[in-house]
C-alpha cells in the first residue's frame, strides 16, 4: 500500500499490528521514489514494525 505521509503509514501499521491474530507481522517503511521513472532515490527507512516480518524487511 502507498500512503501520502509517514504518519498515515504508521497509523495503518499500528492498526494492523493490533490485529496480529489476522497477520503474522506488519512493517511500515518510508522510501523516496521518482514517480516518473520509478527509480528509488533513497534507502528505505523503517517507521514501525509489529510481529514477525522477514529479515530482509525487518531492518536488522
pLDDT of residue 39: 93
Burial 12-22 (b: 16+ CB within 10 A, else e): ebeebbeeeee
Give the pLDDT confidence of 4-20 residue by residue, as tens digits. Answer: 888 888 888 888 877 76
pLDDT of residue 44: 86
When pLDDT is averaged across residues 28-56 and rounded to a whole number, the result is 87
Please check the confidence at residue 30 and state whether its pLDDT lies above 80. yes
pLDDT of residue 10: 86
Please check the confidence at residue 26 and state whether its pLDDT lies above 90. no
State how far the Cα of 46 lies from the Cα of 27, in Å rounded to an integer.
7
The pTM of this model reads 0.58
The 8-class DSSP code of residue 26 comes to E
Amino acid at each position: 500500500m502507498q500512503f501520502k505521509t509517514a504518519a498515515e503509514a504508521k497509523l495503518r501499521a499500528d492498526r494492523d499490528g493490533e490485529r496480529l491474530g489476522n497477520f503474522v507481522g506488519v512493517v511500515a517503511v518510508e522510501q523516496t521514489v521518482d514517480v516518473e521513472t520509478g527509480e528509488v532515490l533513497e534507502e528505505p527507512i523503517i517507521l514501525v514494525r509489529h510481529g514477525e516480518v522477514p529479515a530482509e524487511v525487518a531492518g536488522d
